[in-house]
Amino acid sequence: MKYYDKLVFELSKPGRTAYTLPNNGFKASLSEIPAGLLRSESPVLPEVSEPDLVRHYTNLSQMNFGVDTGFYPLGSCTMKYNPKINEEIAAMPAFQGLHPLQDESTIQGALEVYYEMQKALAAITGMKRFTLNPCAGAHGELTGLMIIRNYHLLRGDTARTKVIVPDSAHGTNPASAAVCGLEIVEVKSGANGLVDVESLRPLLGPDIAGIMMTNPNTLGLFEKDIKEIAALVHECGGLLYYDGANMNPLLGMVRPGDMGFDVMHLNLHKTFSTPHGGGGPGSGPVGVCEKLADCLPVPRVEKLENGKFTVVGSSKTSAGRVSAFMGNFGVILRAYAYILMLGKQNVKMAGKLATLSANYIKESLKDAYKLPIPTVCKHEFVFDGLIDDGSSTGKPGATTLDVAKRLLDFGFHAPTIYFPLLFHQALMIEPTETESKETLDAFIDVMHEIAREAAADPDILHNAPHKAPITRPDETTAARNPILKCEL
């Protein structure tokens, strides 16, 4: 064990400090604080010097994997590079020091960013209006479904209590529908991985509030029958919800509004290049077509005749309030910087390059990994495990989990595994447009190397990772009984 593998608690020496807080002149004596709110004993905190503290955090950060440390082909997550200029802009004191309860007249610049961002997203997606209030993709889904429900109720139509969700959908879709109090009806995909129109037809009726779709779907395939599906759903009085978390491949090419969708969300922390993971702040703006504009949540930012911006706090037709203030402004700023930096022309390039990168990897690896749906994909695609898993050696064959674990030894993050549920050994790869051809080639070489290892001796994969800080935790125990506290 290396010295710095020790816990910071084990390095602790009483009285040692890394930093001393300046005297802030706060004079209140402890007796002024109600006794019930005071600690009975001091907390046990590690006491270390500044260098030990710096090393503690630096070493911890190096045990983690991020898009800044290596290639991160996690399907359905769009782990693209986050330009550092976005961070600088979000950290500008004039933005960072804002308070949500500040008087409107003092935050005109921030409101302008907010307003212009709503307009930019409407232009990119073909929707009429946007709200930036929701704080995650799933939060956007819930908001969108609340808008759909509100729309039906405002028309006095109380019978629409069901929502159709394809079997290939992201897990958040049925979850959001359930949270919204809607009943979920599943529609099956055909053998080509697309929503089957003939399976959809009999599900439609006066009890259908709408359908939630992802296009390209979670297999990375474009739902080519979307116009027909839209017509059928509209005919039965339902609305179309678009899950735009991964709109990357469509940027500047096709707009959900033009495909017939009525409501949608975007994940700024995927498609629009803001950091994500670890449950940090996100942003799931929701866009709607004209007839749903009045149902958008409050508060809303509007532009007045005199060119000033104002916050509208209430509305009789609104689906309600979905967040404490107006969303995660820091995330919105980063995404706005990204959109302005690319401009109309280059936004289009992002989608094309993401699609090219995915198809390049797919075609380069299909000699070693099973490709269940061999058509052209969009930003991502799914393999169904190894062609030769090594079981002919007499040992148990290498699984998708084993491939994923072995990739870590080569310095790559694993792809998404065992999702979507349509294939038993799903390995879902999404490279994004920000990776160079050299990086893609290095990944392809390693994936071939792993396939050769599996065929020759699957145990190399079974015991991987060999070089990561920890090898294979028991995943159930790690999830059910995590040890989160240091007991010295």
Ligand X SMILES: *Cc1c(COP(=O)(O)O)cnc(C)c1O
The footprint of ligand X (CB under 6 A) covers: 76, 136-138, 170, 172, 214, 218, 243, 245-246, 267, 282, 284
Closer to ligand X by CB, 8 or 79: give it.
79
Q: In the complex, what is the shortest distance from the CB of residue 229 to ligand X, in angstroms, rounded to a whole number?
A: 17
Helix (H), strand (E), coil (C) string for 405-449: HHHHHCCCCCCEECCCCCCCCEEEECCCCCCCHHHHHHHHHHHHH
Q: Is the peptide bond preceding residue 420 cis, with omega within 30 degrees of 0?
A: yes
Closer to ligand X by CB, 134 or 299: give it.
134
Closer to ligand X by CB, 172 or 189: give it.
172
- In whole angstroms, what is the distance from residue 148 CA to residue 241 CA? 9
Q: In the complex, what is the shortest distance from the CB of residue 177 to ligand X, in angstroms, rounded to a whole number?
A: 12
Q: In the complex, what is the shortest distance from the CB of residue 137 to ligand X, in angstroms, rounded to a whole number?
A: 2
Cβ–Cβ under 8 Å, residues 100 and 325: yes
Which tokens belong to 215? 């296009």
Residue spans of alpha helices (H) in 328-436? 329-365, 400-409
Closer to ligand X by CB, 246 or 434: give it.
246
Closer to ligand X by CB, 270 or 406: give it.
270
Q: In the complex, what is the shortest distance from the CB of residue 187 to ligand X, in angstroms, rounded to a whole number?
A: 16
Q: Quick one: which of 118, 209, 116 has its CA closest to 160?
A: 209
Which tokens belong to 463? 């015991």
Q: In the complex, what is the shortest distance from the CB of residue 246 to ligand X, in angstroms, rounded to a whole number?
A: 5
Element of type H or E holding 384: strand 381-384
Q: In the complex, what is the shortest distance from the CB of residue 77 to ligand X, in angstroms, rounded to a whole number?
A: 6
Q: Quick one: which of 135, 248, 157 has its CA closest to 210?
A: 157
Which tokens belong to 348? 């289009």
Q: In the complex, what is the shortest distance from the CB of residue 232 to ligand X, in angstroms, rounded to a whole number?
A: 22
Compute CA distances 410 → 438, 443, 459, 467, whole Å.
15, 9, 17, 9
Q: In the complex, what is the shortest distance from the CB of residue 319 to ligand X, in angstroms, rounded to a whole number?
A: 18
Closer to ligand X by CB, 243 or 435: give it.
243
Closer to ligand X by CB, 267 or 318: give it.
267
Q: Closest-CB residue for ligand X?
A: 137
Q: In the complex, what is the shortest distance from the CB of residue 283 to ligand X, in angstroms, rounded to a whole number?
A: 8
Handedness of CA 349, 353, 354, 359 (dihedral sign): positive
Q: How far apart are the first and last CA of the chain?
A: 18
Q: Give the E-state strand segments of 67-178 in sequence order.
A: 129-131, 162-166
Q: Quick one: which of 142, 145, 140 has its CA closest to 210?
A: 145
Q: Is 142 helix (H, G, I), strand (E, B) or coil?
A: helix
Q: In the complex, what is the shortest distance from the CB of residue 141 to ligand X, in angstroms, rounded to a whole number?
A: 7
Q: In the complex, what is the shortest distance from the CB of residue 240 to ligand X, in angstroms, rounded to a whole number?
A: 15
Residue appearing with tokens 């509100």: 150
Closer to ligand X by CB, 136 or 240: give it.
136
Closer to ligand X by CB, 194 or 461: give it.
194
How buried is residue 457: exposed, middle or buried, by Cβ count under 10 Å (0-12/13-18/19+)?
Answer: middle
Closer to ligand X by CB, 237 or 282: give it.
282
Closer to ligand X by CB, 211 or 368: give it.
211
Cβ–Cβ under 8 Å, residues 330 and 282: no
Q: Is 117 helix (H, G, I), strand (E, B) or coil?
A: helix
Per-position DSSP letters for 47-67, written without gaps between them: ---HHHHHHHHHHHHHTS--T
Taking each helix axis from N to C end, the angle separating 437-456 and 329-365, rounded to the nearest 10 degrees, works out to 50
